[in-house]
Amino acid sequence: MKKLIIMMMCILLLSSFLAYAGGEKEAAPAKEGKLFEGVTVSVVAHSGHHATPWYNEAPVLKEKYGLNLNVIEITADEIYSRVVLELTQRTGAYDIVQYNSAWIGDYEPYILPLDDYVAKDNDAIGFADLLPAFNKAQNLWGGKKVSVTLDGDTFLFYYRKDLFEDAGEKSAFKAKYGYDLPDPPDTWKQVVDLAQFFTRKKGEKLAGRTLTKDFYGYSDQAKRGRVYYWYLFRYVPFSAPNPHYFDANTMKPKINSSGAVAALENMKELMKYSPPGVLSWEWDELYAAAMKDGTVGMWIHWTDEGRGFNTVPPLPVENPPKAVLGISGTPGVKVGDKVYKYTIVDSAWVASVVKESKNQDAAYAVLKHMFGPGPVNLGYIMDPQIGWDPSRYSHFNSKEWRQKVPGIENYLELEMKALEQGYPMLKIPGAFEYNDVLDLNVSKYLAGDFPNAGAALDAVAKRWNELNEKFGVDKQKGFYAKIWQ
């Protein structure tokens, strides 16, 4: 028996030596890499193209870590309610969840802070690579790293630069309004002037050529459900120089302040120069009018148009000039000698590890693979079919992207500039309800169901006070403070 044991030990030593000498040095790392052999990581993803990267990377993660990736697709309009229901049950059924960063006030009790992981691996996930507008406004909550930005959604102001640069239009504008045609407009007051000026009927002249369709100066995405975004684009700058949703000390709503009322009146004024039926317009309708029909002169939208700058259609005129899309940050409001501009940044999707996950280490490893700086994440950011927008310095400064899409640097540089003035959305428990109340009453005012903007916003303020009482004023005050930490 003793001889047999000695013989087996010799065989093991010899095989180890041969493996080392025979060039099989990759065997050890491969074994070490299978850290999560047989582990299943379940991830909730926005259904459709947002889920595609997860499916694509599942085999890679299997090879790299030995884990199985279970993708649970949920539609955008159901993610909030379904995920909240599951999290509150604390079943641990989800390991990673995708959600809107503005919902963190409701999700926080169930989300695992990532600070310990970041400290251990020297920030391999790359929080330092994320633009402050995303990192500070979306990923940090109460001073802790709670999520990583998945899709750097933000909003930009788009306009027909080919029209704005026309010499005849510039001359006519100055003659009518007494100042040079702004390219791009700095303030919402200028947007009103421009919208009025450029709204023309079929058969009239535009850029010295005959219109083949009616042309409209401006349009919002004004359908009930997400129209509150388009109101907030105005509310924040109209509340300058110190915009807030509530008084931080008392939680008294500021949503019916004089600035708030002026913002809603501006929104209603611009409806005069918008296409008919705009109150029923969601994403598809606005995108089609602007980027397929070319019948809108100015609009605010997500970054899809910016990434597709080279697909803007010609103006709807005979013998149109070369189509050029203008891009800038959203307009501001002049207070004294300064124009205050802000870019709303909490319309974005983020991903977090769930506290009740039984596979937290594996879940974090998946987040690093999917969203850390490097070719995997950049590849999906560059793919227009996926819909993940840039959020990292390495995205915006990518030489590969510039080489692949000549001219994209204009969009990248302008968006990065706009994000220097990022402003957070409301992120307290019940934020979904607060925003829905705002959305409802803005919609009703635009539809003519309120006698004036003040009455509509008084209704919002009343309900916001009721929600504060429901959730607890002191509790909400504490959560509200976390937004600005």
**What pLDDT is recorded for position 68?**
98
Q: What is the pLDDT of residues 277-301, one digit of tens each?
A: 999 999 999 999 999 999 999 999 9
> Rounded to 5 degrees, what are φ and ψ at 396?
-65, -25
Residue 223 sits at φ, ψ, to 5 deg, of: -75, 140
Predicted local confidence at residue 76, as pLDDT: 85
Question: Hey, what's the torsion of the CAs at 47, 52, 54, 57, to 10 degrees?
Answer: 170
Residue type, 76: A
Q: In which band, very low, low, confident or very high, does the pLDDT at 31 lie, cut at 50, 70 and 90?
A: very low
Question: pLDDT grade, residue 385 (50/70/90)?
Answer: confident
Helix, strand, or coil (residue 236): helix
The pLDDT of residue 431: 94
% of residues, the chain, pLDDT over 70: 93
What's the mean pLDDT in 149-170?
96
Average pLDDT (271-276) is 98
Band of the pLDDT at 11, cuts 50, 70, 90?
A: very low
Indicate if the pLDDT at residue 32 is higher than 50.
no
Crossing angle between the packed helical segments 258-270 and 227-238, to the nearest 10 degrees: 130
pLDDT value for 15: 37
Q: Is the pLDDT of residue 224 over 70?
A: yes
The answer, yes or no, to whether residue 451 has pLDDT greater than 80, is yes
The pLDDT of residue 411 is above 70? yes
**pLDDT value at position 16?**
38
Residue 347 confidence (pLDDT): 75
Q: What is the mean pLDDT of residues 248-266?
A: 98
pLDDT at 3 over 80: no
Question: What six digits make up the tokens of 153?
Answer: 């959604």
Residue 419 has pLDDT above 80, yes or no: yes
Other beta carbons within 10 angstroms of residue 4's beta carbon come to 8
d(CA 325, CA 321): 12
**What is residue 26's predicted lDDT score, i.e. its pLDDT?**
32
Please tell me the predicted confidence (pLDDT) of residue 61. Answer: 98
What average pLDDT does this structure show over 131-140? Answer: 93
> What does the pLDDT read at residue 384?
85
pLDDT for residue 13 is more than 90 = no
DSSP string, 320-381: PPPP-EEEEPPPBEEETTEEE--EE-TT-EEEEEBTT-S-HHHHHHHHHHHHSSSHHHHHHH
Query: Between these two residues, 15 and 112, which has the higher pLDDT value?
Result: 112
For residue 384, how many C-alpha atoms fall within 13 Å in the half-sphere facing its CB? 13
- List of domains in the chain: 32-151+348-413 (3.40.190.10), 156-344 (3.40.190.10)
pLDDT category of residue 164 using cuts at 50, 70 and 90:
very high
Which of 23-32, 338-347, 439-448, 476-485 comes out lowest in average pLDDT?
A: 23-32
How far is the C-alpha of 95 from the C-alpha of 43, rounded, in Å?
A: 6
Instruction: Say yes or no to pLDDT of 383 above 50.
Output: yes
Contacts for 217 with CB less than 8 Å, ≥ 6 apart: 194, 195, 196, 197, 198, 199, 273, 274, 296, 297, 298
- Please determine, for residue 5, whether its predicted confidence score (pLDDT) is greater than 90: no
| Per-residue confidence (pLDDT) for residue 12, from 0 to 100 | 37
What value does the mean pLDDT of the chain take? 92
CA 42 – CA 56 distance, rounded (Å): 15
pLDDT tens per residue, range 311-333: 999 999 999 999 999 999 999 99
Q: Over 50: is that where the pLDDT of 108 sits?
A: yes
Residue 399 backbone dihedrals phi, psi, to 5 degrees: -70, -35
